[in-house]
Amino acid sequence: MGKKLVVVGGVAAGPKAAARARRCDPEMEIVIYQMEDEISYAGCGLPYYVSGVITERQKLISRTAGQFAQDGIKVLKHREIENIDVRNRTVTGRDLHTGEGFTDRYDRLVLATGAEAIRPKIEGLDLANVFYLRSIFDADAFLERIRSEVVQNVVIAGGGFIGLDMAESLVQLGKEVTIVEMTPQILTLFDEDLASVLRQYLAKKGIQVFTSEAIAALKGDKGKVTHVRTVSKEVEADAVLMSLGVRPRVELAKKAGLRIGETGAIWVNEKMETSAEGIYAAGDCAETFHLVTGKKTWVPLGSTANKQGRVVGTNVCGGNAVFPGVMGTTVFKVFDFHVAKTGLNIKEAQREGFSPIQAIVRGYDRAHYYPGGKESILKVIADKETGRILGGQAIGEGPSDKFIDILAMALHGKMTCRELANVDLAYAPPFSPAMSPVIVAANVLTNKLEGKVNDIAAAEVKRKLDTGEDTFQVLDVRERDEVEAKRIPGSLWIPYADLKKRIGQIDRKKEIAVHCESGLRSYKACLKLQREGFEHVRNVDGGLLCWCYDVESGG
């Protein structure tokens, strides 16, 4: 009898493992058990299907059961695997249509059970028009209802990636959208400054965002949701999308006695093998290593699931493939903003024992004189002790994905900011400034390592202004037209060109936070002030690019 591979789960990692195994071993018997009616579909494409950008549902299906059958891979849909007998190498389950039980044997077993939506224990979750978005069938149900004119006000519970993706989709469908997030900021994997930039952008698109607002209950009338009650308010809602995150589906693995990792996902080694010989796990149900911290982590992403599936497919056929880990590299789009991240944010770096420093620069996509330019705000984070790049974030209409992909490669190579500053990146005026924004950020970090200028974050500036510290002042060194458009209340304005002749207007006894639009002119102003004997000078990271607080107009 030939070897048999059984795959449990048929969305991303499972089908990838099966397809790879078939290429590695043309004779192996391969069976995929899938609970749903569809297999191998693009879960990440669901928001675009809802919005209408993806007009044909079938385009979300990568391969049908029939196409797998052409390669000799049997797909058994509407089957739930309920138990694994590790010793005898069998699985048992039931047909979801008939209720009949079945048993199957395996030589190699792949668990690709994915993740499930977090469902909080609150009143009203069983009301009509309360939705989740984990499967293509969730999208079908949501789309059918949301296109009704009866549904106008939609509340999204959660300000993470899926919630933000869906906010755009719903606005494009003409809905009034409110995001309710229990933490102090949306986009919690990013630093507060860039998350605040996105929040301001969403407000301009007509999306209300309430933070620090945990949902207490969903209220309804005649069986349908009508309001979302938070800790401090009630928000009208014709429909609610619950997008509070996901957790790995590990119940089957637990019942089989497989080891569950510290992240709550299935423990696997670098070959994606579980604690039981011959059983592998991949995708959103499995944990992995973080390449920056070296610790176990859980990052549920479709790109990761497919890479892990390929490794598993190789190894179930006797191969020796390794999945080294992830850095949480991700990107998504909200209207015209491209939002991307890799590696650690500032708080994560601090928790891991690093001493993080940051550079925030304008991320232009072409030379300043070439028409049609767009820009993103780019943040790069490094360790103050070693100069090693720890992470990066980018947000805006510019090439955020390009910047973050460059930084992801730098993280893989464990590069320092000094090394990154001399990387040979492609340049031509239609594609990049002569000095790539990534290289500019690396140079800023190098200057900080060398102690040329001290920095201060916009949030700290705001805190000091709010507490009314009489030993603190903000110096604005921009030009008149910039200041007339907006300025920080209470700031002292002296254009950079006039700084030397008006230096007597600055109180030497106070701590001075110097800012411009993005940080370059203020950096030069800090150097000039230091040469004039000023001791307490700090450059505001990112300048007004990351100032998401009150402003006033007038010079």
Catalytically active residues, by annotation? 44
Q: Phi and psi (nearest 5°) for 29?
A: -80, 125
User: What Cα–Cα distance (Å) separates residue 256 from each residue in 110, 399, 403, 429?
Assistant: 13, 46, 44, 59
E runs forming strands in 39-196 = 73-77, 79-85, 90-95, 101-105, 108-111, 115-117, 130-131, 153-157, 176-180
Dihedrals phi, psi of 362, to nearest 5 degrees: -80, 125
The pairing of strands 337-343 and 330-334 is antiparallel
- CA proximity to 190, closest of 388, 392, 445: 392
**Exposed, middle or buried by CB within 10 Å (0-12, 13-18, 19+), for 76?**
middle
Strands 246-248 and 115-117: what pairing? Answer: antiparallel
| R_g over Cα of the chain | 27
CB 124 within 8 A of CB 235: no
Give SS3 for 221.
strand
Q: What are the tokens at 442?
A: 């690396």
Residue 267's alpha-carbon distances to 106, 250, 313, 329, in angstroms, are 20, 10, 18, 21
- Residue 189 structure tokens: 């994997």
Rounded to the nearest 5 degrees, what angle is found at the Cα of 521, between the Cα atoms of 447 and 554? 145
